[in-house]
Amino acid sequence: MRRVTLTQFLIEQQRAGRINADLRLLLEVVARAVKAIAVNVSKGALAGVLGEAGTDNVQGEAQKKLDVIANEILVQANEWGGHLAAMASEEVETVCRIPFDYPKGGYLLLFDPLDGSSNIDVNISVGTIFSVLRNPPGDDEPQEQDFLQPGHQQVAAGYAVYGPATQLVLTVGNGVHAFTLDREMGSFIYTQPYMTVPEDTKEYAINASNARFWEAPVKRYVDELQQGKSGPRGKDFNMRWVASMVADVHRVLTRGGIFMYPLDEKNRDKGGKLRLMYEANPMAMLVEQAGGAASTGRERILDVAPVALHQRVPVILGSKDEVERVVAYHTGA
C-alpha cells in the first residue's frame, strides 16, 4: 500500500483547486514547526525544558518553559517564508509582525503554541492549535482588527497532539484528515482520511470540579448523564477529562463524545474560559467539518463576531445530537 505524505496530500488538494500554492507552503511550514516542538516535548527532563519559565503570558497565566520554546519555534519558522502578512499567538499580547526585510503573503496565522501545558510536567498529552485567515486585500501592515474575523471565514485549521504518537489533524474545508509522524523518516503520513464524529455517544468531557458554578442548563444536562440507565437518557455515560483541549477534542473526533467548557459563575466576567481565536474557532471548524456541532450554548461558535484578539467564549462541541440537546436546554426549546 502506497504511503501518502502530508506534502503529497497538500499537492493533491492544490491540484483539485481547494488550496493555492501559498497556503500549501504555509501548512508545510506549520508542520515542520510541529515536528520541532514534538522533539522538545519528547525530551522533557532530558533537555531541561520542564517547569516554569518565570514569566506570565498576556492572559496572566504562568508560562511553562515549553510554552515559550513552542511559541519561538512557530514564530521563527513562519516569519520568513513569504506566505504570511502577520501572526498572532495566545502567548503574546499584540500582533506578531513580519520583519521588514522578509517578503509578505496573503494570510494571517493564529496559534496556541502549547495547549494543555499544565500537563507537561506529568507527561500527559499536550498539543498545538492553529487557524489560518485571509489578510484583507490591500493591507500590508495588518492590525488587530484585521484578525477579528468570524470563524466561518477560516481557510484552514488544525492541531497537533503530542502523545505516544505525534499526530497532525487538519482541515482545509474539505473534511478532516489526520497524519501521523513517522519519526524515523521525519514525515507526516496520511493515516485517517475524512474523520467523522458519530452523532450518538456515551462519553462526555467536562471539568466536574466547577459543578457548583455551572448554569442551570449545564447542571440539568450533566445530571441526566450521571443518572445513567435509570435516568431519562436510558443509558450509562462515562466522563473523561484530560485538561488539555487538544487531547479531549482528539478523543471526540476519534470516537465521538461531547466536550464542554461552558459559561459559569467562575468565568462569567471574562466571557468564558477558552480563547475564541486560538482555540474555539479552529476546533469548531474541525468538529463541524467532521459532522459534529460547536456552540457557545447560545450561538454557533463559527458565527461569533470577534471583538478582541484574546476574547474568551464558552465552548460546547462534539457529537451533533448531544450539542443540540445542550443548546436546547440553554434556549428553552
- Listed by start position, the domains of the chain span 6-192, 203-331
297 is in an annotated binding site: no
pLDDT band at 55, cuts 50/70/90?
Answer: low
pLDDT-based confidence at residue 60 (cuts at 50, 70, 90): low
Q: What is the mean pLDDT of residues 24-43?
A: 94
**Model confidence at 96, in pLDDT bands (50, 70, 90)?**
very high
- Spatial contact of 184 and 195, defined as CB atoms under 8 Å apart: no
Question: Which of 134, 114, 136 is closest to 64 using CA atoms?
Answer: 114
Helix ranges (H only) for 116-266 are 144-147, 216-227, 245-255
The CATH code belonging to domain 203-331 is: 3.40.190.80
Q: What local confidence, expressed as pLDDT, does residue 140 receive?
A: 78
Q: How far apart are CA 158 and CA 153, in angstroms?
A: 14
How far from 209 is each of 119, 213, 221, 314, CA to CA, in Å?
17, 9, 16, 16
179: nearest Cα among 25, 17, 9, 13? 9
What is the band of 314 on the pLDDT scale with cuts at 50, 70, 90? very high
Q: Is 115 annotated as a binding residue?
A: yes
Q: Is 207 annotated as a binding residue?
A: yes
pLDDT of residue 100: 84
Give me the mean pLDDT over the 127-137 stretch.
96
* Over residues 218-237, mean pLDDT: 96
Calpha distance 82→133 (Å, rounded): 15
Q: Which fold has domain 6-192?
A: Fructose-1,6-Bisphosphatase; Chain A, domain 1 (3.30.540)
> What confidence tier does 120 reach under pLDDT thresholds 50, 70, 90?
confident
Same fold across 6-192 and 203-331 = no
302 annotated ligand binder:
no
**CB of 78 closer than 8 Å to CB of 32:** no
For 216, list phi and psi in degrees, rounded to 5. Answer: -55, -40
Q: Is 317 annotated as a binding residue?
A: no
pLDDT of 332 reads 86
Burial of 21 (0-12, 13-18, 19+ CB in 10 A): exposed
Q: In this structure, are residues 286 and 176 in contact, taking their beta carbons and an 8 Å threshold? A: yes
First to last CA, the chain: 50
Tell whether 117 is in a known binding site: yes
**Residue 90 assigned as binding residue:** yes
pLDDT category of residue 124 using cuts at 50, 70 and 90: confident
Checking if the pLDDT of 201 tops 90, the result is: no
**320-326 mean pLDDT:** 96
pLDDT in tens, 246-278: 999 999 999 999 999 999 999 999 999 999 999
Over residues 142-146, mean pLDDT: 94
Known binding residue 141? Answer is: no
Average of per-residue pLDDT values in the chain: 92
Whether the per-residue pLDDT at 328 is higher than 60: the answer is yes
pLDDT of residue 54: 54
The response to whether 279 counts as a known ligand-binding position is yes
Amino acid identity for residue 292 in this structure: G
Q: Tell me whether residue 112 is annotated as binding.
A: yes
The mean pLDDT of 58-84, rounded to a whole number, is 84
Q: How far apart (Å, rounded) are the C-alpha atoms in residues 252 and 259? A: 7
